Amino acid sequence: MVTIYDVAERAAVSPATVSRVLNGKSVKAELAARVLEAADTLAYVPNRTARTLRRRHSEVIALIIPDVENPLFTALARGVEDVAREAGYSLVLCNSDDDLAKEREYLDIAISGDMAGVIIVPAAGESNVDLLLAKGRAVVAVDRPVAHGNVDTVVFDNARAGHDATTVLWEAGYRRIACITGPNDVRPAVDRAMGWQAAMLGFDSTFPAVTYLRHGDFRTRGGQEMMLDLLQMDEPPDAVVAANNLIGVGAINAMAQAGTLPPTTGIAVVGGLPYALPFGHPIPVVHLPTRHIGMSAARILLDRLSGSQSPVSTVVLRGELTPPTPA
């Protein structure tokens, strides 16, 4: 391995000077040139591990998400990455599987690996980022707030999204509108359902909301199972609000299975349907600014990393009801 000493020797300067050149401290032009040339010919690459040990922190930020296979989170990751790498940070993507134990593992890695900061979509339940905070590391929660956390947060306006999705169905003439959402220890799931409930009670104060609310997981399977369940009711709903993209896919598949596709049974989805194939009937979607939420979180984190002491903030991003699905 070629070290800073090798470069120093070849350039006939001290290791300290090499270090200074590489870090943009003031060095006489001629020496700097010698150093750069030596570094170049030796193909010297600074050892990040040593640098990190010395500096006490690396230029890496961790992004912890519950599911790499959910397009919402990969889009979010893109947003984070674009902003982060622009600022010279690289990204470590960690998959918590919505599991607190795995999440803790990754948090430990972030700590013991001296990572600069962490952007986290907290796993279902009570995420604990106190150790990070205690070490003075920057933390930003995204998509979901962290339970007892005193951390910057970026979320969607989930209640509104649920409300909007419900409204569009109501206006299309549906009256018994159910809701399939995620686990009730996942905040966006709860909030979107609350938006739906508020909308329904607003339209019809006698609507038996609890009867038409289902909690599944935030995956296609959950959407499918819950939809089948709803369709088997004595008085099945005539439409459904799917609280996320994958639930939407699952629900529509269940509808196909039961032979009651839109517009027979209506559906509106919160969160864009990824890679949607053209579908017989247009499906209203409350499009969430997924990439944007990541960029926003990244900017806040970078701000903290550069020493900002502004008070802890929460940013709420609004979704947008898209005209019935285009190509």
Partner DNA sequence: TTGTACGCGTTATCAG
Partner DNA sequence: CTGATAACGCGTACAA
Residues near a copy of itself (CB under 8 A): 1, 45-50, 52-53, 58, 68-69, 71, 74-75, 77-78, 81, 90-95, 105-106, 108-109, 111-114, 135, 220, 224, 245-246, 249, 252-253, 255-257, 261, 273-280, 327
Query: Is position 14 an interface residue for DNA (rule: CB under 7 A)?
Result: yes
Which of the stretches 20-28, 158-166, 179-187, 272-280 binds DNA when contact is defined by CB under 7 A? 20-28
118 DSSP 8-state letter: E
Decide whether 52 or 128 has the Cβ nearer to DNA.
52
* Integer Cα distance of 305 and 60 in angstroms: 11
DSSP, residue by residue, 20-76: HHHTT----HHHHHHHHHHHHHHT----HHHHHHHHS--SEEEEEES-TTSHHHHHH
**To the nearest whole angstrom, how small is the minimum distance from the Cβ of residue 198 to a copy of itself?**
29
Query: Is position 60 an interface residue for DNA (rule: CB under 7 A)?
Result: no
Closest CA to 247 of 212, 282, 274: 274
**To the nearest whole angstrom, how small is the minimum distance from the Cβ of residue 45 to a copy of itself?**
5
Determine which residue in the list 9, 36, 42, 46 makes contact with DNA, applying CB under 7 A: 46
Say if strands 320-322 and 285-287 run parallel, antiparallel, or are unpaired.
antiparallel
For residue 163 the two structure tokens come to 């409300």
- Burial class from Cβ neighbours inside 10 Å (0-12, 13-18, 19+) for residue 34 reads buried
Between the alpha carbon of residue 198 and those of residues 117, 145, 164, 318, 321, the distances in Å are 37, 22, 11, 17, 18
Task: Choose among DNA, a copy of itself, none what residue 17 binds, the Cβ cut-off being 5 to 8 Å by kind.
Answer: DNA
Decide whether 33 or 256 has the Cβ nearer to DNA.
33
Query: Is position 57 an interface residue for DNA (rule: CB under 7 A)?
Result: no
For residue 117 the two structure tokens come to 């900061």
Which residues in this chain contact DNA in the complex, by CB under 7 A?
1, 3-5, 13-17, 19-20, 22-23, 26-28, 30-31, 44, 46-47, 50-51, 53-56
